[in-house]
Amino acid sequence: MKLTIHRLTAALALTLSASLVAQAAELAPGTVINKQSLEQHLSDSFEGHSIDSLLTERMKLLIQNEGLSLRLKASEPVVLGRDYLAATQENAGKAVYNPDTRVVEGWVAGIPFPNVSEDDPDAAAKLIWNHHYAQPIKNMQDYPNFGYLFLNDKVGLERRQQWAFKRYFLKGRLGTDQVVEGDGSILTKTLLYATYPNDIRGLGLFTIRYDSPKLEDSWAYVKSVRRTRRLSGGTWMDPIGGTDQLNDDIEIFNAHPTWYPEYKLLGKRWILAVANSTGDTWNQKASGNAEFPVVDLDNWPHWNPNDHWEPREVWVVEATTPPEHPYSKKVMYMDVEFPRFYQAEAYDRQGQFWKWMNYHLKTIKTEDGDVGIVSAAGFTIDYQRRHGTVFVLGGPRLNTPGITADDIALRELERAAR
């Protein structure tokens, strides 16, 4: 009798297992994962990965409770620049991370730590330094026209602004004999300023970031008195205008690595991300909501992305903030093949979930015929305030010819305000 029961139990288990296998499916590109289909597809797979494993816990909650909808796309390789890869190979092994000072010594150009191991106790710090030093954008990031869309989940689009962003690298320069410009003390010079509407035209920052833990120097142009004003060193933690972004949130992480007291590697995994953004993010020939096809402005909650998501392997890094920072921590998801973040979760000082950041990447040609990676769109959603700021990119350029470090200067803010 016991043997019969045992055989019956085993048979039932095999039948149930076979049934589950039969029900699971390999999904096709174009399949939509949303609230209605989530439970049905969790055990299904896409490109060999279960949907359950491709979604972070936060993404699942946003799909279930916040209307997030993801359309699957067949994955494509992300192409990195020839000079970027050449510099990484040529300088491999020269950079050394000093755990006592928390800085990197010996970096020249390219990715300082191209082969980070999960077992390395300094793995998280090295990944952050890769991001800090080796953005795959060549020598200059030039966004002459990008939009900020201000959204809430009641009325949708409240207003829009247009801004310009220019960042010039003075160290680690690629495809040139002059790897360093100047005396080597400055890493980047950055301009970020509004161009529309007229009442905020010229609002923005000029920032010098040093290649050291020294706080950056920042200046703002004050339109009311037509003067420039030097700002405190804590500007990197301040909000950008009336957006939901901090300066520290530009493309998810925008701080010197030593300004955060601790980084922790939470592991390596696969997620759904927008690594090859498709279509227009900003159709300037259209009007109304059709002008911004990358955002689902017509449907609640009005800030969900319209794009295509593919499997990407990522590092998961937790960054602990300094005590004066508005956040307590950020959990960020960086591509394993190159140091750019796709997503992040920000938590308030009480440890409660606050913001979700999601960036869509796109490979474009640089002005000298190489390639680089830009942010086609960026979503910073404040779920406590029920408000979102969406970055949409128009007309990006990389390695713009004829521009020098001297052109990235405070006088540009003054010109923009006229």
Return the half-sphere exposure (C-beta side, CA atoms, 13 A cut-off) of residue 296: 16
Q: Choose among 309, 317, 388: nearest CA to 34.
A: 309
Q: Choose among 321, 310, 150, 180: nearest CA to 240.
A: 150
What pLDDT is recorded for position 10? 52
Mean pLDDT by 10 residues, the chain (418 residues): 49 46 83 98 98 98 97 97 98 98 98 98 98 96 96 96 96 96 97 92 92 95 79 90 94 98 98 93 92 96 97 98 97 98 98 98 95 97 98 92 92 81
What pLDDT is recorded for position 123? 98
What pLDDT is recorded for position 232? 83
Q: For residue 127, which phi and psi values (nearest 5 degrees)? A: -65, -40
Q: How far is CA 256 from the centre of its chain?
A: 16
pLDDT digits (tens, 9 = 90+) for 69-114: 999 999 999 999 999 999 999 999 999 999 999 999 999 999 999 9
User: Whose structure tokens read 């010079």?
Assistant: 189
Element (H, E) at 187: strand 186-196
Q: What is the CATH number of domain 130-164+242-411?
A: 2.50.20
- Between CA 12 and CA 15 the distance in angstroms is 5
Three-state SS letters, 135-183: CCCCCEEEEEEEEEEEEECCCEEEEEEEEEEEEEECCCCCCCCCCCCCC
What pLDDT is recorded for position 175? 95
Say if residues 196 and 162 touch (Cβ distance below 8 Å): yes
* CA distances (Å), origin 245, targets 15, 81, 171, 200: 52, 29, 27, 17
Residue ranges of the chain that CATH labels 2.50.20:
130-164+242-411
What pLDDT is recorded for position 279? 77
Element (H, E) at 104: strand 103-105
Beta bridge partner(s), residue 335: 314
What pLDDT is recorded for position 233? 83
| DSSP structure string for 14-74 | HHHHHHHHHH--BPPTT-EE-TTTHHHHTT-EETTEEHHHHS-HHHHHHHHHH---EEE--
